[in-house]
């Protein structure tokens, strides 16, 4: 697997352990080698970022925030 991803075995070991010091590009390469590139889209999907969505909603004017007014 390391050979196919063009990385060292040591780096692959770090990937397997979830080491945050490994670059995102290495993780992307490993996912590509495993045929799991669809997972990359899930990681980058802003709709899955609850914190980011919350922060974005806080920046909206009060009158258009979700859930501010009941639907009639």
pLDDT score for 25: 93
How far CA 21 is from CA of 8, 14, 54, in Å, comes to 15, 8, 27
Whether residue 9 is predicted with pLDDT greater than 70 in this model: the reply is yes
Whether residue 72 is predicted with pLDDT greater than 70 in this model: the reply is no
Q: Give φ, ψ of 31 to 5 degrees.
A: -65, -40
pLDDT band for position 61 (cuts 50, 70, 90): confident
Give CA–CA dist 62/58, Å, rounded: 8
Overall pTM surpassing 0.75 (yes/no): no
Mean pLDDT of the chain: 85
């Amino acid at each position: 697997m390391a050979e196919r991803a063009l990385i060292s075995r040591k780096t692959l070991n770090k990937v397997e352990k979830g080491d945050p010091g490994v670059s995102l590009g290495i993780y992307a390469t490993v996912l590509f080698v495993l045929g799991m590139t669809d997972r990359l889209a899930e990681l980058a999907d802003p709709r899955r970022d609850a914190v980011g969505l919350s922060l974005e909603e806080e920046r909206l004017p009060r009158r258009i925030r979700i859930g501010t007014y009941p639907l009639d």
